Structure 1
Amino acid sequence: MNYTYLLDEVSLSMVSIVGRKSAYLGELYKMGFNIPKGFIISSRGVNEAIKDLDDEIRGILSSVNLNDTTDLEKRSEMIKSMIIASKLPNEMEKEIYERFSQLGSKYVAVRATATSPLSGASFAGEYETDLFVTQENLIPSIKRVIASYFNPRAIAYRILTHNEAGMAILVQTMINPVSAGTAFSIHPITEEPDYVVIESSFGLGESVTKGMVTPDQYVVSKATRSLVSKRISEKVMKLTYDFAEKKIKSIELSKEEALAESLSDNDAIRIANMAIAIESIFKRNINIEWAIEDKKVYLLEVRGIRRLYPEF
């Protein structure tokens, strides 16, 4: 059994196997978009990893009381502890290490990707993501991400909606960005379709996506491919990886740094062009996550703007 796929082996027809996130990135990777190299542990692989625990997990969840938060959290922790303490099949571990070595990177990002055709709010931020993972920590990280399938909110959602969508895991070369953020191919508030709205800050993009800073905003005209407005905010901090301490840290910025532009006008136009191209391919308005490292713009994620395209 093959447990994994390279990113350039997957396509939109494989959502149930590799997850939405991986399927869309794989499709765009093959078209030449600048996406970090990666591989996917398939939903079948994830199921195989916890197959021996199935009966025990079902038993723990059989009498869970969703109205009792303490009970739900206790059962969640029991299951997650079991998964983290378990061992992956030897063949799976071997295949994962082989794929890791093919990436040629010391650090990777390990992300869950839901295999449901729906991208409802229930899945947003529901599962774990590990950044700057080394080969030494790769298997523990993968098990931690698998275990997050049994986070309390995820358990409750699946029971209440009878949605048993699985999980795949995307492992990609880690980008250590100078700046990062999001871009919308339609105004996220007014729904004006003629502009790309970019939000940007220094360091890792989680500071933007998790609302930790007020990001800079750049608005680019689709018709002229030119910057029509920008608002530079005071970005009080940035998230960055401390290689000595081996952890992500929040760094307070000086007043001068905080008020500096996190994007050049030219980079804003490059990001907008990427968003416009992706919108044209999928023929729907999209939201992307991007990052800049060594003057290269990387595409990290693409999704439909949920209110407009709930099925994306």
Structure 2
Amino acid sequence: MKYTYSLDEVGLPMVSVVGRKSAYLGELYKMGFNVPKGFIISSRGVNDAIKDLQEEIHNILSSVNLNDTTDLEKKSDMIKSMIIKSNLPEEMEKEVQERFIELGSNYVAVRATATSPLSGASFAGEYETDLFVTKENLISSIKRVIASYFNPRAIAYRILTHNEAGMAILIQTMINPTSAGTAFSIHPLTEEPDYVFIESSFGLGESVTKGMVTPDQYIISKSTRSVVSKRISEKSIKLIYDFDERKIKSIELDKNEASAESLSYQDAIRIANMTIAIENVFKRSINIEWAIEDKKVYLLEVRGVRRLYPEF
């Protein structure tokens, strides 16, 4: 395989090749953590995908005015349109389609992953993520995610900081969760290290990570592995994928469901145990994204708590 790696082929030394997100998930996948199966288009693959456009991209960016939002957005749109209209290398497209078939899933998530060892606000949410991508939409989704490397804020950040970190693309079996959210191995506000702090809501986890609901909160003691406090919120909506309309929809919840617990006691403990185990692997405080499907807890992402460990 020239352009791609299976998730079980990658690990921590490969951040510059497969991206930070993929490298850490690959490491944990090989250790037996419940990470959805997947593969990665390497940073070389992403570079090859836009190789023939590089000179034109350089010419467009050479005259960009970062003080003029309209100019920045116009040039961003020009570059993204070029990428979306272009063709991937034939060999890459064939390889990607073969990898997709190997996953044995009708739907995948397509995510950008930065190849810089640095983590910070510069990359959080800058690039696109596509969910519930089918085989027929896979190539167009990949091009859309590559194009997001040239989103206005990402362009501005790279020019201002001279940080030319590349991009790889992580493609994984899509989890369709009943509940999802985040967990911290240290309290994100008080920084107490003796507890796991979980935020949870119904449906897709974007409702939590994008602040669309006030999530349920569970605090679990690391020493006793028990829930020491919880706050159940009224979660007005949930995000679901409508398979008939083929799109993600926001569904309003009735008062009973809105006020119901999005996690059972046992699942909160399972998420806490996973969070503690990952913290022990990396020997530092971590923040994860998780999802529950068919009573299984899946690990979707892991990152360091940036304020404490900006290098992770």
Deviation at 1:231, TM superposition (A): 0.6
Give 1:52 deviation, angstroms: 0.2
Cα shift at 1:58: 0.2
5 Å-filtered alignment, 1:200-279, equals 200-279=200-279
| 1:82 alignment partner in structure 2 | 82
List runs of 5+ in structure 2 lacking aligned partners: none
Aligned to 1:120: 120
Q: Which one-letter code corresponds to 1:192 in the other structure?
A: E
- Is residue 2:94 matched to residue 1:94? yes
Match of 2:13 in 1: 13
Structure-to-structure mapping, 1:22-41, within 5 angstroms: 22-41=22-41
Runs of 4+ displaced beyond 6 Å: none
Find out whether 1:187 has 2:187 as its counterpart. yes
Tell me which residue corresponds to 2:63. 63
For 1:68, the aligned partner's letter is: D
> Partner amino acid for 2:23?
A
CA distance in 1, matches of 2:56, 2:214: 45
Taking the aligned partners of 2:281 and 2:54, their CA distance within structure 1 comes to 40
Which residue identity does 2:111 align to in structure 1? R
Q: Calculate the aligned-residue CA RMSD, in Å.
A: 0.5
Structure 1 residue ranges without an equivalent (≥5): none
* Partner SS for 1:60: helix
Q: Distance in 2 between matches of 1:63 and 1:288?
A: 40
Counterpart CA distance in 1 for 2:283 and 2:263 is 27
> Who is 1:289 aligned against?
289
Q: What SS class does the counterpart of residue 306 from structure 2 fall into?
A: coil
Q: Which residue of 1 aligns with 2:103?
A: 103
Q: Return the alpha-carbon distance in structure 2 between the equivalents of residues 157 and 122 of structure 1.
A: 7
Letter in 1 for 2:239: L
3-state SS of the aligned residue for 1:212?
coil
The answer on 1:150 being equivalent to 2:114 is no
Amino acid of the structure 1 residue aligned with 2:25: L
Corresponding residue SS for 1:121? coil
For the residue of structure 2 that corresponds to 1:105, the secondary structure is coil
For residues 255-278 of structure 1, the C-alpha deviation after alignment (integer angstroms, 9 at most, x for no partner) is 000000000000000000000000
* Cα offset, 1:45, TM superposition: 0.2
Query: What residue identity is the alignment partner of 1:211?
Result: G
CA distance in 1, matches of 2:89, 2:128: 22
Residue correspondence of structure 1 range 37-56 to structure 2 within 5 A: 37-56=37-56
Task: Tell me how far apart the structure 1 counterparts of residues 203 and 161 of structure 2 sit (CA, whole Å).
Answer: 37
The residue that corresponds to 1:131 in the other structure is 131
**Deviation sequence 1:57-104 (CA, Å, 0-9, x none):** 000001110000000000000000000000001000000000000000
One-letter identity of the residue aligned with 2:300: L
Deviations 1:223-281 (A, max 9, x none): 01111111100000000000000000000000000000000000000000000000000
Structure 2 letter corresponding to 1:243: F
Q: Report the Cα offset of residue 120 of structure 1.
A: 1.2
Given the two structures, how large is their TM-score scaled by the length of structure 1? 1.00
Q: 1:89 & 1:225 partners in 2: Cα distance?
A: 51
CA distance in 2, matches of 1:73, 1:164: 19
Aligned residues: 312
CA shift, 1:30, in A, is: 0.1
TM-score of the aligned structures, taking structure 2 as reference length: 1.00
Q: Secondary structure at the match of 2:84?
A: helix
Q: Determine the C-alpha separation between the residues in 2 that align with 1:94 and 1:237.
A: 40
Q: Percent identity?
A: 85
Question: Match for residue 302 of structure 2?
Answer: 302
Name the SS of the counterpart of 2:122 in structure 1. helix
